[in-house]
Amino acid sequence: IEGKINGLVGESACGKSTLSLSIVKLLPSNGRIADGRILFSGEDLIRKSEDDMREIRGAQISMIFQDPTSSLNPVFRIGSQIGEAIELHRFKDEPKELTKKVVREEVTTILQLLRVPDAERVASHYPHEYSGGMRQRAMIAMAMSCRPKLLIADEPTTNLDVTIQAQVNELILDMVKKLGTTVLLITHDLGIVAEMCDRVAIMYAGKVVECADTSTIFKRSKHPYTEALLSSIPRVDIKHKRLEGIPGRVPSLVDPPPGCRFHPRCRYARAKICTQDPPTVEVEEGHRVACWRYTDVWESD
Ligand code: SF4
């Protein structure tokens, strides 16, 4: 949803990051988008040329990755790395001298928005002089510096300790509210989803199996995989007898099981029907589930 935080949740290796890299067409060279559409501002990104995509990346769609260390260049000052994106996308037609001053001010403003103390001085530091939390703030500043319409945040706080995680999440929330950015937040942490997201899509083995607003997912989830995910985490609002794991493991995406990809692990699976692809059903307004249990065929099977 535009202007909201949209979560994408699933176990490791279920295809979340591949989906985000597909959106910006940055898949590794051995990957390709076989089918479908990626609609952004009414246009299909799959049809865009590499030159068009270069204009879109950074300026309209930005990304924050898990590991800021590998995304920041160790030999350039943080300020110049943030400024590069601004210069390239927002002031590319302005005279060089004017640009430099404006860009410096913009870098300071964006760092101040992220509550970086003494922003002007800190901008002249190198990445190795920053702590993990500060490096992640620098990444967010780079991603937000061109005021993108869409921010893709791929597990942005996974490598941080819990208190810094909370601070960084709060900063992302604060920033997107102030700038009205739409966010795709990729995570395997349902606690972060509950805290931050307006809407959630649950992904299993490369497919979205359930999609609804956050409170619906937590109160009235329908898909057996979502149900199993929620039973595997401690919750203060429900009295659990004991936490349950999900049996089995995520299937290989090279050779996924036929039909519903969750069927080898699903407690409700029926041999005949569940080995066929389930349709996606709208069980209530805005709540979609890909499972045979919510179709008429299930009753008559
Ligand atoms: Fe389980 Fe069948 Fe629904 Fe898949 S389609 S989640 S196997 S009940």
Residue 219: pLDDT band by 50, 70, 90 thresholds? very high
Q: Give the ligand 1 atom nearest the CA of 269.
A: 7
Cα atoms found within 13 Å of the Cα of residue 277, Cβ hemisphere only: 5
Residue 206 CB contacts under 8 Å (≥ 6 apart), including other chains? 14, 15, 18, 253, 256, 261
Q: Of 1-10, 132-141, 263-272, which gets the smallest average pLDDT?
A: 132-141
pLDDT at 78 exceeding the cut of 70: yes
Q: Given this model, what pLDDT does residue 254 score? A: 85
Q: Ligand 1 mean position to 223 CA, how many Å?
A: 8
pLDDT tens profile 249-289: 888 888 899 999 999 999 999 989 999 999 999 999 999 99
Q: Given this model, what pLDDT does residue 273 score? A: 94
Structure tokens at 104: 């410096």
Q: Looking at the chain, how many residues does it have?
A: 301
pLDDT tens profile 83-131: 988 888 777 666 666 678 888 888 998 888 888 888 889 899 999 998 8
pLDDT tens profile 20-74: 899 999 988 888 888 899 999 999 999 999 999 988 988 899 988 877 777 788 9
Q: Given this model, what pLDDT does residue 97 score? A: 64
Give the 3-state DSSP-derived string for the chain, with helices as H, strands as E and coil as C.
Answer: CCCCEEEEECCCCCCHHHHHHHHCCCCCCCCCCCCCCCEECCEEHHHCCHHHHHHHECCCEEEECCCHHHHCCCCCCHHHHHHHHHHHHCCCCCCHHHHHHHHHHHHHHHHHHCCCCCHHHHCCCCHHHCCHHHHHHHHHHHHHCCCCCEEEEECCCCCCCHHHHHHHHHHHHHHHHHHCCEEEEEECCHHHHHHHCCEEEEEECCEEEEEEEHHHHHHHCCCHHHHHHHHCCCCCCCCCCCCCCCCCCCCCCCCCCCCCCCHHHCCCCCCCHHHCCCCEEEEECCEEEECHHHCHHHHHC
pLDDT at 222 exceeding the cut of 90: yes
Q: Is the CB of 277 under 6 A from ligand 1?
A: no
Q: Given this model, what pLDDT does residue 207 score? A: 92
Burial class (CB in 10 A: 0-12, 13-18, 19+), 252: exposed
In a mutational test of the pocket of ligand 1, which residue from 276, 292, 294, 301 has the highest number of ligand atoms less than 8 Å from its CB? 292
Rg (CA), the chain: 21
Query: 224 near 262, Cβ under 8 Å?
Result: yes
pLDDT tens profile 167-197: 888 888 887 888 889 999 999 888 889 989 9
**Angstrom distance (rounded) from CA 39 to CA 268:** 34
Q: Is the CB of 204 under 6 A from ligand 1?
A: no
Q: Ligand 1 mean position to 248 CA, how many Å?
A: 15
Q: Is the CB of 289 under 6 A from ligand 1?
A: no
* φ, ψ (nearest 5 deg) of residue 186: -100, 125
Q: Ligand 1 mean position to 121 CA, how many Å?
A: 56
Which residue has its alpha carbon closest to ligand 1 atom 3? 291
Q: Give the ligand 1 atom nearest the CA of 263.
A: 7
Query: 135 near 127, Cβ under 8 Å?
Result: yes
Q: Give the ligand 1 atom nearest the CA of 292.
A: 5
Global pTM reads 0.86
Query: 10 near 204, Cβ under 8 Å?
Result: yes
Q: Given this model, what pLDDT does residue 241 score? A: 67
Q: Give the residue with greater pLDDT, 23 vs 299.
A: 23
**Angstrom distance (rounded) from CA 276 to CA 261:** 9
